[in-house]
Structure 1
Amino acid sequence: MRWAEGFIAVDWGTTNRRGYLIGSDGSLEQEMEDDQGILSVPPEGFPSAVAELRARLGDRPLLMAGMIGSNRGWVEARYVPTPAGLDDLAHQLTWAEPGFAAIIPGVSHSTPDRADVMRGEEVQILGAVATGMVSDHAMVCHPGTHNKWASVIGGRIASFRTVMTGELFNLLKEHSILADLLSHPAVADSSFELGVEHGLAHDDLTSELFAIRARTLLGRAPAEQAASYTSGLLIGNDLRIGLRAAPVGEIIVMGRPELTRLFAVALKVAGREAREIDGEEAFLAGVRKLAELIR
């Protein structure tokens, strides 16, 4: 095994992939990002896609996270049930190439009335905990296509809930009657904050979405504000769900800065303290710790 010489870490999602060449001393030597997510690769095409990654970043062992381990990815990786820590992930890797290409398991949470899964976010959350960026008792909000609200207890992911906020916004933008209005950029302005306030205070999401178009048609709201209001409305509704598990205390908002900024503003509207953490930094912290555990 050649992990001590460095390795390639890959965050391989549905629509994008990000690769990082980690040196023997843990330093980031090179990185890349493209749109070759798992949906862009046919089932038989993953060996070629992995070879292309190595051609760009070097012939090193691979440590992969995200949808690459789904039933649509290269090799399906198991889910580790909550409570889950980094040691659980390291001990249940799925080897696509024995000793040379490992897929990190996802995490599942199951109760009599609810079931949930995550792939990829667990590396960021537990990496941030392991390196002290996040306390071992915390509530983490991880914005994305499928936003996660994860409760960390004793340094482990104890429970979590997924809200399809990002995917819903994209579907509305591409396929709904609001599509023309949502072509404008969504920014954290006063319209966004009004949407957040409505989403926090009301349970009429599907009705209020149509009202956005009606107000525009009747001249009661400018079309340029619709995207920001819609984003705020969806995020406010998201917070109303997620904050039930966090009645007090700081909320860690982790992920891509353009998304964490929106959620941090929304949390301020909700009267909550938020601290943003860059998801890429947390991911690198997680894969470095995992590589140490499997050497």
Structure 2
Amino acid sequence: MNAEWIAVDWGTSQLRAWAMQGDTVLAQSQSDRGMARLSRDAFQSALLDLIEDWLGAEPVDVVACGMVGARQGWVEAPYSAVPSAPLPDAPIRVPGTDARIRAFVVPGLKQNAPPDVMRGEETQISGFLATRPNWDGVICLPGTHSKWVQISAGEVVSFRTFMTGEMFELLSEQSVLKHSVGDGWDADAFAEATADALSKPEQLAARLFGLRAADLLHNQDKATARAKLSGLLIGAELGATRPYWLGQQLAIIGAEGMSQIYARALQLQGAFVDTANATQCTLAGLAQARKLTRQTA
């Protein structure tokens, strides 16, 4: 099986690759050899370990997005400044690759004031907009570092990043709350905590310790504590992003579970939300990036 081209999503911790025939996925593979685990001279071997069976005699285009384009990545793909199209510039060619591949890396986006950056999300946004012509509104991309992105006339106008996912991981696994937060979910507790954080954001630090106290004094269920922790952090995020989402057309691009959690939190505030699959948006965006490489070839 020879791929027409290869799509790659290369993040900090994960590497995912798809053998493509036009817009059709022929095969896919992944590993834990993300950017953070590799030296610059190890990127090509990590990729070839995944895709070697898809290669033939003729060189194949590999189009990659994500942290692979960071300063510590395979090749640095400089940020493009907003406002701009999600993919305003052609991907950067990786020099000196194996003769069987031509590798390209998609640049990220930057915002000078307030300072902010993204890598990978711009590709998902491009893929989302490719299937929704003339779409204006706000896109939320939940994850370790959640993004809120204002879209107008096909351009990224502005965006903000929130460390909500990373804060949840740190608090639930490395703080005193690790003794009180477990697996499972409590939808009512999540809704209550989200509303509480939205109405009283100044109480967030106290509410967080309250999760530990409720465990010690009242043996609070660990699934309830997990849902409350998530609700408090997401509620604080929604409070800070209210100018973005209030009264706007909204879309969420992310993994299904996390997207549903954010959608529920927004729906509790009366917002109408569309959800889109992150992988499908990534592949559609990488297809758009491939067109740019072919136009400049």
Structure 2 length-normalised TM? 0.90
Structure 2 residue aligned with 1:258 = 257
- How many angstroms does 1:131 deviate by? 1.9
Unmatched runs of 5 consecutive residues or more in structure 1:
none
Q: Separation in 2 of the partners of 1:252 and 1:240?
A: 17
Structure 1 residue aligned with 2:268 = 269
Structure 2 residue aligned with 1:207 = 206
- How many angstroms does 1:86 deviate by? 4.6
Q: Match for 2:118: what amino acid?
A: M
Query: Structure 1 residues 63 and 73 mapped into 2: Cα distance closer, same or farther (>3 Å)?
Result: same
Structure 2 residue aligned with 1:107 = 109
Which residues in structure 2 correspond to 1:181-200 (within 5 Å)? Answer: 181-185=180-184, 187=185, 189-200=187-198
| Contact 1:84-1:158 at 8 Å conserved across structures | yes
The answer on 1:41 being equivalent to 2:38 is yes
| Contact 2:29-2:50 at 8 Å conserved across structures | no
| Contact 1:130-1:155 at 8 Å conserved across structures | no
Q: Separation in 2 of the partners of 1:280 and 1:56?
A: 22
| Contact 1:82-1:108 at 8 Å conserved across structures | yes
Query: Structure 1 residues 15 and 87 mapped into 2: Cα distance closer, same or farther (>3 Å)?
Result: closer
Structure 1 residue aligned with 2:24 = 27
Structure 2 residue aligned with 1:80 = 80
The C-alpha deviation readout for 1:111-166, integer Å capped at 9, x for no partner, is 2xx1000000000111111221x753110000010000000111111110000000
The count of residues paired between Structure 1 and Structure 2 equals 284
Which residues in structure 2 correspond to 1:161-240 (within 5 Å)? Answer: 161-185=160-184, 187=185, 189-203=187-201, 204-219=203-218, 221-240=220-239
Q: Separation in 2 of the partners of 1:220 and 1:198?
A: 21
Which residues in structure 2 correspond to 1:241-252 (within 5 Å)? Answer: 241-252=240-251
Tell me, what secondary structure is at the counterpart of 1:88?
Answer: coil
Structure 2 residue aligned with 1:281 = 280
The C-alpha deviation readout for 1:212-262, integer Å capped at 9, x for no partner, is 111221107333310011011111111111222232123101111111010
| Contact 1:126-1:157 at 8 Å conserved across structures | no
Structure 2 residue aligned with 1:154 = 153
Give % identity: 31
The answer on 1:65 being equivalent to 2:62 is no
Q: Match for 2:198: what amino acid?
A: L
The C-alpha deviation readout for 1:171-198, integer Å capped at 9, x for no partner, is 112211011222323x361111111111
Structure 1 length-normalised TM? 0.90
Structure 2 residue aligned with 1:9 = 7
Q: Separation in 2 of the partners of 1:224 and 1:247?
A: 30
| Contact 2:182-2:225 at 8 Å conserved across structures | no
Q: Match for 2:75: what amino acid?
A: V
Q: Separation in 2 of the partners of 1:194 and 1:28?
A: 42
Q: Separation in 2 of the partners of 1:75 and 1:188?
A: 44
| Contact 1:17-1:35 at 8 Å conserved across structures | yes
Structure 1 residue aligned with 2:124 = 124
Structure 2 residue aligned with 1:95 = 93
Q: Separation in 1 of the partners of 2:124 and 2:160?
A: 16
Q: Separation in 1 of the partners of 2:108 and 2:54?
A: 25
Q: Separation in 2 of the partners of 1:135 and 1:202?
A: 37
Tell me, what secondary structure is at the counterpart of 2:88?
Answer: helix
What is the RMSD computed on CA atoms of the aligned residues? 1.8
Q: Separation in 1 of the partners of 2:225 and 2:212?
A: 8
| Contact 2:87-2:123 at 8 Å conserved across structures | no
- How many angstroms does 1:7 deviate by? 1.1
Query: Structure 1 residues 223 and 94 mapped into 2: Cα distance closer, same or farther (>3 Å)?
Result: same
Q: Separation in 1 of the partners of 2:53 and 2:119?
A: 25
Q: Match for 1:50: what amino acid?
A: L
